[in-house]
Amino acid sequence: MSTSAITPAAGPGWPELPLPGPADVVLADGRLAVIRSLTPADGPALFALHDEVSDDALRMRFFNVSRPAARSYVEHVLAHPDTLALVAEVDGRLVGFATAEPIYGDTVDTLDTVEIALLVSDAHHGQGLGTLLLEHLFAVARDRGVRRVEADVLVENHPMLEVLAHAGFGLTQHPDRGVVTVNLTTTSTPALQYAADRREFQAQSRSLAPLLAPRSVGVAGVRSDGTGVGAAVVRSIASNGYAGRMVVIHPRHGSVAGVRAYPSFRDVPHPVDLAVIAVPAELTASALEDAAAAGVRAAVVISSGFGELGPQGKDLQRELSVLARTRGVRLVGPNCLGVLANDPAIRLNATFNAQQPPPPGGLAVASQSGGVGVVLLDRARELGLGVRSFVSLGNTADVSSNDLLAAWFDDPGVSAAALYLESFGNARKFARFAHRFSERKPLLAVVGGRSKPGRAGGVSHTAAAASSVVAVEALFAQSGVIGCVDTDDLVEAALLLTEQPLPAGPRLGVLSNAGGMGILVADAAETCHLVVPEFSAALSDLLAGLVHETSGTTNPIDAGAGVAPERMAAALDAVLSSGEVDAVVTVVVATGVTDGVEIVRRLEEVRARHPQIPVLLVPLGGLDVGHPEGLTTYDSPAAAVRAVGHAVSYVQWRAVPAAPLPVPDPTVVLAVRQWCRAALQDAPTEGRWLAASEARHLLGPYGLRLLGRVATGADGAAEAATRIGFPVAVKVGDTGGAHKSEKRLVRTGLTSAAAVRLAVSGFELHLGRAAGEVLVQPMESGVEMALGVVRDPTMGPLVMVAAGGVATDLWADRAFLLPPISLADAQHAVRGLRIWPLLEGYRGGRAADVADLERLVVDLGRLAVEVPEIAELDLNPVIVGSSSCSIVDVRLRLASTDDPGVGTPRQLRRIE
């Protein structure tokens, strides 16, 4: 293919890029809608939509009430693929239609501007459907290089003008003779994304209200003999004192387990908010259809036998998912434990967990594993951790962790959230939602099913280093998610975060009546990146008068085994009043020479006078004190310290101001992606490695410039070296992905044209063929770094920042980032590397141009997101000098992708 500069394709028509799959969206009234591309099969439904809308709606759309004109426009759209068209369906009916038609000037042969139009059925006005259609339409147009949008709107069409004004896109209005010409830009800005996310949060909250706060519940699949899962759910609901109405759906009995029964959901004389379905898998779709026909808007399918059991089960699950989507029912499961709405005003325990639920509180929990969910609930009950709600996600045919985060975001009863996940359906969206949630409330997570092996087929340094573990760690670190190692770690951290104020910093005070235990707490603090500060002379003197121990005046404080309760309390009061600690861990060991219970009571009184500092209690030696007011109790010092460490890390993440993310340039995105698709036309399924000249053209539009000149043959290399100036380095520009240094395809420090010719001849002798492209570069000095991109099958692109050179794998000094990457993300990653002291000027050395390195990281993140055809990319080494960065070598593999593009909303639900 040609290696000329990347420019957009000319001529009429939409560029050939993948279109997005159907996207599930939530309307303002809580119902589901599906937005997708128009197909020829939609013709009859599209004609019907235009025939059924009111005369007023038709006039607002076409500036007249001509039904034939409306039908002519439908015929035009169906016959002309140059019109980009999206439709919206609700309950299986086509209810919305949006188009973008190319505008070509007399002298402009590239597509840059479109004219948009929108029509929504009369029954669906005011539900946000128009705004959602526009969001998706703009995103698809943006992926195809469109920068500007025009729309002609009647002055009196206030709803349409309001939709355009509130969608978040920049716009200008030009009124003229009763018509307003609206000009908008398609640029995706942080403000636009935030507005879209806020709309979805509010819509998800309404959509999931029947699930999280149901006023009435119907259970289908309850055996009359009291056996089975359905009967267990009924017992759980009854024993927990559900405040709403419960009915059973049973074809033959009028009462089951003492609960009123009806043959079907449609026979229930009052509305049912939530259906709990426990019938055999093959009957589940029929039960869900019955519930939907009765107006039920949320369902929990506990039944198993779906996607977890192979192809036949996947087919049943797909049928269930499509049915829920088309009928507007929010579906949890299938193959799940159930749900718990633990608000004291609701008290719904619709699970088959045999244990009583934990006490009410502020923690919202979701788990993809029913077994892990049982463990989480049991541990929460044991520790006295208050739970607001619990959702067992099961196979996640519909409701996902993303949906729940959105619904919990504005819920004043939710003070923190905890997740157990085994997969990420839409990792980029999860990262965005988790970031927004974490800015407001703590979010904890455990991820199971991560394997340590990296990419089996990857040969680049970046691919070899990446794995699912580092992908999850990168996502959590950038999103503010508190990553926990197991369920105990999660519940213990959540206990602190829901019961105590956040610590202001990492300074930990340690108080105990057993010196050895205090030392163990101090040791654990170091591993959790906490500081056990040395107390000031004034505080030490004060403590010396209280504990009567020489060692007791230091931190950790040893109050002595026989300390009187009032003196132990006075010591805690002194530490909390000092301003020298941000949190305190107190260890009280039961002994025969003091009253441990009284000590805890006195500590409780002191804690009440200092509510702004978290205080944790570890009672040991068989001391049973229950759950004292104001003191969060742990079974071991290690658990208490680990919880403080999690809280401090979260506080430090929140303290970093949010930085703006880079904004895509639609023209650059379109041109580069078209170039990639052309490069892959004849490539094998695994893709192809690019030559140096190709890589240079691909990277250049993103500010990633390869050092030196590309030449052909020995004479061409010698001429390029002479122009650059000696000494130079030369290397083969196309090695098929092999590491050049390992293959002896690099020569450095060459001081003459003759030496360059000899080096290239040596390459050809080693290769057994002509060297082809040769990269000729000036010699550079500085700190060697490595940057790269690899695609995780779940998370998508990952960007690596690492110590570079030939030993990059040996040093294993690297960090991974999930793009898009802000400048703050890049700064944090670079400064967290072990090589950082060299970059800032170790022992009097010259400081490197770290700012330029960080810019490269941000630009590399843009490239990784906007060009999904990039499968692997190594920039190694990147030499960071005192005044600039130089990309010295590049290895880049392209591979085909069905990713529709950076700006297009992804399918929200994955149907297996």
Summarised one tens digit per residue, pLDDT across range 730-775 is: 999 876 656 676 667 899 999 999 999 999 999 998 888 888 899 9
Q: What is the mean pLDDT of the chain?
A: 89
User: Would you state the pLDDT for residue 11?
Assistant: 43
Summarised one tens digit per residue, pLDDT across range 7-18 is: 544 444 566 666
Long-range Cβ pairs for the range 790-793 (8 Å, 24+): 790/455, 790/458, 790/460, 790/462, 790/463, 790/466, 790/871, 790/872, 790/873, 791/868, 791/870, 791/871, 791/872, 792/466, 792/468, 792/471
How many CB atoms neighbour CB 807 within 10 A?
11
Summarised one tens digit per residue, pLDDT across range 100-126 is: 988 765 444 456 788 999 999 999 998
pLDDT bracket for residue 167 (50, 70, 90): low
Does the pLDDT at position 459 exceed 80? no
How many CB atoms neighbour CB 886 within 10 A?
19
Residue 187 near residue 143, CB atoms below 8 Å: no
Exposure string for 451-487, b = 16+ CB within 10 A, e = fewer: eeebbeebbbbbbbbbbbebbbbbbbbbbbbbbbeeb
DSSP single-letter state for residue 91: T
Between CA 281 and CA 298 the distance in angstroms is 18
Between CA 304 and CA 815 the distance in angstroms is 40
Does the pLDDT at position 799 exceed 90? yes
| Measured CA angle at 485 (ends 533, 910), to 5 deg | 135
Between CA 6 and CA 697 the distance in angstroms is 7
Indicate the SS3 state at residue 35: strand
H-run or E-run covering 471:
helix 468-479
User: Would you state the pLDDT for residue 910?
Assistant: 30
User: Would you state the pLDDT for residue 142?
Assistant: 84
Summarised one tens digit per residue, pLDDT across range 619-647 is: 999 999 988 999 999 999 999 999 999 99
User: Average pLDDT in the 81-89 region?
Assistant: 88
Between CA 67 and CA 53 the distance in angstroms is 10
How many CB atoms neighbour CB 189 within 10 A?
15
User: Average pLDDT in the 716-730 region?
Assistant: 96
Q: Which residue has tokens 């904004």?
A: 663
Summarised one tens digit per residue, pLDDT across range 649-707 is: 999 999 988 888 888 888 888 889 989 999 999 888 889 999 999 999 999 999 999 99
- Reference 337, options 365, 300, 307; nearest CA is 300
H-run or E-run covering 94:
strand 93-103
Does the pLDDT at position 453 exceed 50? no
